[in-house]
Amino acid sequence: MNLSRTARIVLWGFMGFGLSFIYVPLMLVVINSFNKNKSFNWPPTGFTTMWWTKAASNSGVKDAILLSVLTASLATIIALILGSLAAAAIARYNFFGRDVISLMFVLPIALPGIVTGIALNNVFTNFFGGLTFFTIIIGHATFCVVVVFNNVAARYRRMGATFEEASMDLGANRLTTFRLVTFPMIRNALVAGALLSFGLSFDEIIVTTFTAGAGQTTLPIWIFQNLFRPNQAPIVNVVAAALIVVSIIPIYLSQRLTQERK
Amino acid sequence: MTNTRRYFHSHVKARIAALLSLPIAWLGVLYIGSLAALFITSIWKIDTFTSKVVREFTLSNFIDVLTDKAYFNVTMRTVGVAIAVTIICAVLAIPMAFFIARVAKPKSRPVLIALVITPLWASYLVKIYAWRTMMAPDSGFLNWLISPLGLSSPGFGMVAVIIGLSYLWLPYMVLPIYAGMEKLPDSIIDASADLGAKPGRTFLKVILPITWPAIIAGSLFTFSLSLGDYITVQILGGTFQMLGNVVYQNFALNLPFAAAVALIPVIVMFIYLGSVRKTGALDNL
């Protein structure tokens, strides 16, 4: 498109501003994790790796990370099973109430987390005998199903039913068709959905606040509990900086997935 | 073939039922059931001494929510913040998406889009925490940055909440708009230029109307995610409060009332969804 010089400069300006708006705060956290000053006054007066060493030996952080990884893994497994079952039914069959059911599969993401949180809390405490470790997983799986479902359903729709029909015309039964035709085609969508689901669960705080049993401190809960404690500030900052660095892993993985697709 | 296999082969309904029974048990019964139970609670009473729910019909929770000036103000403030966040995100995202889709070299497009999406993987709390260190009244980065200009950081409060929420949801706005602008055929833009329109006019009269559904799709995220938030408000808001905070504070002591307040963002969202349905935005999600 032919643009005037001014228009180009303005657009460059917006892009530059947008990207610095996105990255300056994140970089600030990483730099601050080496800030010698405990209260993180800017600009830093000196640098140290002391906070990283201290955080690495902090047992609260370690326990919280373990619990978060366990929660996210279990919630993702449940989401993979439920999400792909539902996606197969909705993408491959036409039946009464299909639209209502697909709407239902977006609801846990569309409604504010606090609504889902207190609704589940109410049911768990009144009918399920209180909050435990398992109630967190049930809560997380509820919104993780949505992302797996979306990914897999989109893939089903894109690939059409012709390959599966061809396979069955050639005499393969449903199981063989699934194993040799359908599954290889939806595998990437399953991996992408699982990645997203793990990330969502690992990061979730609102639903967790309302579904976690006593003493069940996931990493986001730990961060939130320690955010306002001046003593813990350096450790919180290191955890935050580490999480920013670690978030490159799923981006790298999903980037590889999209490249494989081409 | 075993008997079960033969049965599923000839019965389509049985196959659908087998696929859907577990997901429906989870989302349809457990989740929708929980939501229904919550909203039924909102028409029940509370024993003010024990904080226990009493299963007797009352509309007082809704009457309180609707008539108390304080709750009306919180609702207006919350909707106002959600609108402000949506506008800020749109104002930033439209030129960014336009730049990536139409101005940047095709080779650098995936890189730029990756740069915009990347923070989606960073933790929600970490991002808000980052803005705490940005906005801190005296020692924050922003204060250091703008104090030479004679300005000072607004500190924690409504402005910080709006900036924080805009920061969180910006990528959700850029992505659909980028997808919409990328699909735009060059021929339409050329036609507009051939007919004598300057780039600015082409943007306002051709590009913007065509990408409108994508912008609305993005606004669904920024608007709904802002409506229900209370954690960002706790971290960046100082004494500022939104609907989510009212729900959170009442939840332990007066669940029926909390449920009634929680219905407000749900209703606002349904009104918004209903009013934008015709733009076709829902197909752009």
Alpha-carbon Rg for chain B in angstroms:
24
The per-residue pLDDT for B173 is 94
> For residue B29, how many other CB atoms are within 10 A of its CB?
10
How would you class A175 by CB atoms within 10 Å of its CB: exposed for 0-12, middle for 13-18, buried for 19 or more?
A: exposed
Confidence bin at B282 (pLDDT 50/70/90): low
Token pair 């009212």: residue: B246
Q: Could you tell me what percent of chain A has a pLDDT over 70? A: 97
Q: Which of B108, B252, B131 is nearest to A25 (CA)?
A: B131
Confidence bin at B30 (pLDDT 50/70/90): very high
Domain boundaries, chain A: 50-261
Interface with chain B: mutation pick from A9, A118, A174, A223, highest number of B CBs within 10 Å: A118
Q: Are residues B206 and B231 in the same domain?
A: yes
Q: Could you tell me what percent of chain A has a pLDDT over 90? A: 47
Q: Are residues B44 and B78 in the same domain?
A: no
Q: Could you tell me what percent of chain B has a pLDDT over 70? A: 95
The per-residue pLDDT for B283 is 62
Angle, in degrees to the nearest 10, between helices B32-41 and A113-127: 90
Q: Tell which phi-psi region holds residue B140, choosing left (phi > 0), alpha (psi between -120 and 50) or beta.
A: beta
Q: d(Cα A177, Cα B176) in Å, to the nearest integer?
A: 35
Q: d(Cα A148, Cα A145) in Å, to the nearest integer?
A: 5
Pairing outcome for strands B44-46 and B53-57: antiparallel
Residue that wins the pLDDT comparison between B249 and B55: B249
Q: Tell which phi-psi region holds residue B238, choosing left (phi > 0), alpha (psi between -120 and 50) or beta.
A: left
pLDDT, tens digit (0-9, with 9 covering 90-100), for B143-189: 888 888 888 788 899 999 999 999 999 999 999 999 989 888 888 88
For the record, the structure tokens of A117 come out as: 């949180």
Q: d(Cα B99, Cα B93) in Å, to the nearest integer?
A: 10
Q: d(Cα B94, Cα B135) in Å, to the nearest integer?
A: 26
User: For residue B77, which phi and psi values (nearest 5 degrees)?
Assistant: -60, -45
The per-residue pLDDT for A205 is 93
The per-residue pLDDT for A19 is 94
pLDDT higher than threshold 80 for residue B64: yes
Is some CB atom of chain B closer than 8 A to the CB atom of A243?
yes
The per-residue pLDDT for B5 is 66
Question: Contacts of residue A96 in chain B, CB cutoff 8 Å?
Answer: none
Q: Are residues B10 and B107 in the same domain?
A: no
Q: Are residues B146 and B265 in the same domain?
A: yes
For the record, the structure tokens of B251 come out as: 């939840």
User: For residue A228, which phi and psi values (nearest 5 degrees)?
Assistant: -100, 10
Q: Are residues B172 and B279 in the same domain?
A: yes
Q: d(Cα B130, Cα A30) in Å, to the nearest integer?
A: 9
Question: Contacts of residue B5 in chain A, CB cutoff 8 Å?
Answer: 173-175
pLDDT, tens digit (0-9, with 9 covering 90-100), for B225-243: 899 899 999 999 999 999 9
Q: What is the DSSP letter of A41?
A: P
Lowest mean pLDDT segment, chosen from A246-260, B43-57, B167-181, B231-245: A246-260
Single out the residue in B17, B36, B57 at which a domain terminates: B57
The reply to whether B62 falls in a domain is no
Domain that holds residue B109: 68-284
Q: Are A201 and A147 in contact (CB under 8 A)?
A: no
Q: Are residues B105 and B199 in the same domain?
A: yes
Q: Which of A163, A190, A148, A123 is nearest to B32 (CA)?
A: A123
The reply to whether B35 falls in a domain is yes
Q: Are residues B243 and B265 in the same domain?
A: yes
pLDDT, tens digit (0-9, with 9 covering 90-100), for A36-67: 877 777 777 778 888 898 888 888 999 999 99
Residue that wins the pLDDT comparison between B81 and B284: B81
pLDDT higher than threshold 70 for residue B284: no
Q: Are residues B76 and B24 in the same domain?
A: no
Average pLDDT over residues A70-80: 97
Average pLDDT over residues A24-29: 91
Average pLDDT over residues B56-74: 89
Say whether A42 and B114 touch across the interface (CB within 8 A). no
Confidence bin at B9 (pLDDT 50/70/90): low
C-alpha distance from B263 to closest chain A C-alpha (Å): 8
| CATH code of the domain occupying A50-261 | 1.10.3720.10
Average pLDDT over all residues of chain B: 88
pTM over 0.90: no
Nearest CB neighbour to B199, from listed A3, A29, A202? A3
Interface with chain A: mutation pick from B22, B126, B257, highest number of A CBs within 10 Å: B126
Question: Contacts of residue A88 in chain B, CB cutoff 8 Å?
Answer: 19
pLDDT higher than threshold 70 for residue A1: no
Confidence bin at A252 (pLDDT 50/70/90): confident
Q: Are residues B87 and B206 in the same domain?
A: yes
The per-residue pLDDT for B199 is 81
pLDDT higher than threshold 80 for residue B36: yes
Residue that wins the pLDDT comparison between A98 and B159: B159
DSSP letters for B228-275: T--HHHHHH-TT---HHHHHHHHHTT-HHHHHHHHHHHHHHHHHHHHH
pLDDT higher than threshold 80 for residue A260: no
Say whether B129 and A29 touch across the interface (CB within 8 A). yes
pLDDT higher than threshold 90 for residue A18: yes
Average pLDDT over residues B95-102: 92
pLDDT higher than threshold 80 for residue A148: yes
Domain count along chain B: 2
pLDDT higher than threshold 80 for residue A3: no
pLDDT higher than threshold 70 for residue B33: yes
User: What distance, in Å, lies between the first and last C-alpha atoms of chain A?
Assistant: 28
Say whether B27 and A112 touch across the interface (CB within 8 A). no
**The domain that contains B271 carries what CATH number?**
1.10.3720.10
User: For residue B57, which phi and psi values (nearest 5 degrees)?
Assistant: -65, 135
Query: Who's near B36: CB < 8 A, 6+ residues apart?
Result: none
Average pLDDT over all residues of chain A: 88
The per-residue pLDDT for B98 is 92
Average pLDDT over residues A106-114: 85
Q: d(Cα B226, Cα B165) in Å, to the nearest integer?
A: 7
Q: Which of A8, A17, A153, A167 is nearest to A90 (CA)?
A: A153
Is some CB atom of chain B closer than 8 A to the CB atom of A32?
yes
> For residue B113, how many other CB atoms are within 10 A of its CB?
20
Which residues 79-118 of A have a C-beta within 8 angstroms of B? 81-83, 85-86, 88-89, 93, 95, 101, 104-105, 107-108, 110-116, 118
What residue in B sits closest to A240 (Cα-Cα)?
A: B126
pLDDT higher than threshold 80 for residue A26: yes
Q: Are residues B39 and B72 in the same domain?
A: no
DSSP letters for A107-131: HHHHS-HHHHHHHHHHHHHHHSSS-
Q: Are residues B154 and B19 in the same domain?
A: no
The reply to whether B63 falls in a domain is no
Q: Are residues B229 and B257 in the same domain?
A: yes
Nearest CB neighbour to B126, from listed A86, A111, A240? A240
> For residue B210, how many other CB atoms are within 10 A of its CB?
16
